A and B are shown apart, each in its own frame.
Chain A
């Protein structure tokens, strides 16, 4: 809840707290109220390890919800795996987080949305040449790799590929090169603080190619930031973790806004809310033994969350449809719900 991405931590905490309040309002789990224990990892893997140990050894938790960032969740996940305590991963997307057997993702791994975007770019947008400007970040690099794999497997070609540091806002040099490369679709950096100047500079330089961004750009701030760009040239397509048109999701968004006086962030609050609800449901049925909770998660089917319906778990990964939104009249409009198993499975 401190560091560069602190706002995501706060957003996730707010979502989790909302679920705790709702559960406690109807009597808690089997008559016992839930207490949410939350520690600040300081935005560092070292901090993540320290607070995970504290949760397990001092607070004696029977299940946990991991940190929002991939690097942090990787560090925390190893502690939970080592101590055989099940943990849910609300937002972090790096595939290695769930490989230890005790961590389960509620959001999406990086690979699944990457594959869905590669499929969408090639088959729906009809693009044949892909340019990538990707942040140095385990999650983003992973989904970009998956997107490139699918795009090239389908017959496309990667004509420009550049990694940038997190926080980079100057893209004019790269966009000038992309324009010259003849790319007909661009994958841009996913964080909205970076995707806003990326979009503005692209359109300012008359790069009208469709641009795709990851889920961190599927936020009102992105829309506010690109208001002046009009219809965004060849279109902007943004990945999301949840279908906003789903009544469960839209009701949650309203509840969040009423409770906190501001809109929920892109995904962390939705999936953190789902983590609490899912754990509560499993503990209610299976009790609070960590091994039983783990079995309950592995056996879960068709869990209807505000962050999408989880069909089932496979090797710690949940399978759920992946929505891609376009922008029309400064609003996110569902362009396609990718449901093809081949392109929503991370494997």
Chain B
């Protein structure tokens, strides 16, 4: 039972790493960033394919993957989202959502053409490495995910509360018009948000591909679905809500898989929770009313 709880928490930690960047971008741009999956892919492909150029140093390739994802995400965000946000169309958010889905599909197809359809593995896999504490096995990658979530949350908290840019970002999140009148430069804030959120997406892609030892254009499909469920259940735009929801969904999925003797896709559990939350508390666990 304790091992299953740990399994669930670890899975939840992985979910938080997928979702935290998406939540951050939503909190400022109010855009459901489905193309976050493309940043997960950029992170995964960079982490693996750049290894031969950096002496098989995973830390370096993961960091490069984060930075490349940050740049790509910023380009996509500024070139598509921010441009469309300026439109006066009443359907601009629908258009943005469709554009975001299209970017993800296009990036998957592009990677398939560029790097082939076969699944790729890391030359030196580390996905079975575990630490045993009092008979409970913890995967090193899962611990890394939990640490990443914690550090990301801490850095974000410092950034949002202790820096001028962070305060501007919060101001823009809470009241865009008032923030603009107070001299907050929305474009600069958008760039910082997109870069940070996309970097976190790239990082989660590197960790995800390492944990399952699989790099393929379709590895982002489940994480994006899960990230959507997590940020909605947690409360759109709420970073603490995202973390709580990720952990809850991880535990619920693990428990359901272990103890319900039926066949169902693991992610179904998260979407049932999502529907229940939408019916009972539409703003999610920690979303603003």
Contacts and interface: CB of A to CB of B under 8 A. Distances in A.
A37 to B, nearest CB: 22
A172 B118 contact: no
Contacts of A206: 130, 132, 137
B121 interface: yes
Contact of A172 (B117, B119, B121, B254): B254
A193 B117 contact: no
Given A197-B213, A205-B137, A172 B11 contact: yes
A197 B14 CA distance: 15
B117 A227 contact: no
B47 interface: no
Contacts, number: 104
A173 B125 contact: no
A200 B128 contact: yes
A192 B119 CA distance: 9
A199 B117 CA distance: 23
B51 to A, nearest CB: 13
Interface in B224-265: 253-255, 257-258, 263, 265
Interface string B5-42: 00110110000000000000000000000000000000
A57 B253 CA distance: 49
A315 to B, nearest CB: 31
Contacts of B4: 173, 176
A203 interface: yes
A205 B218 contact: no
Interface in B87-114: 112
A167 B222 contact: yes
A174 B265 CA distance: 13
Interface string B118-151: 1111011111111010000101000000000000
B275 to A, nearest CB: 19
A6 interface: yes
A204 B263 contact: no
Contacts of B121: 196, 221, 224-225
B217 to A, nearest CB: 10
Contacts of A204: 127-130, 137, 139
A310 interface: no
B212 A176 contact: no
Contact of A167 (B126, B218, B263): B218
Contact of B3 (A174, A176, A197, A228): A176
Interface residues of B, number: 40
Contacts of A225: 121, 125, 213-214
Nearest to A207: B137
A224 B257 CA distance: 28
A205 B222 CA distance: 23
A179 B265 CA distance: 22
A4 B218 contact: yes
B266 A168 contact: yes
Contacts of A163: 263
Interface string A290-325: 000000000000000000000000000000000000
Interface string B191-223: 000000000000000000001111010100110
Nearest to A134: B263
Interface in A197-233: 197, 199-201, 203-206, 221, 224-229
B116 to A, nearest CB: 8
Nearest to A262: B118
A196 B212 contact: yes
B85 to A, nearest CB: 34
A177 interface: yes
A201 B258 contact: no
A165 B212 contact: no
A172 B212 CA distance: 12
A29 B250 CA distance: 60
Interface in A155-180: 162-165, 167-170, 172-174, 176-177
A165 B266 contact: yes
B213 A200 contact: yes
B26 to A, nearest CB: 25
A167 B255 CA distance: 20
B3 to A, nearest CB: 5
A7 interface: yes
A226 B125 contact: yes
A125 interface: no
Given A165-B266, A174-B257, A200-B125, A7 B212 contact: no
B124 A227 contact: yes
A172 B2 CA distance: 13
A136 interface: yes
Contacts of B137: 204-206
A332 interface: no
26 contacts: A7-B116, A7-B119, A165-B265, A167-B218, A167-B221, A167-B222, A168-B265, A169-B214, A170-B266, A172-B11, A172-B139, A173-B255, A173-B258, A174-B257, A196-B213, A197-B127, A197-B213, A200-B128, A201-B127, A201-B128, A204-B137, A204-B139, A205-B3, A206-B137, A227-B123, A228-B126
Interface of A: 4, 6-7, 10, 136, 162-165, 167-170, 172-174, 176-177, 192-193, 196-197, 199-201, 203-206, 221, 224-229
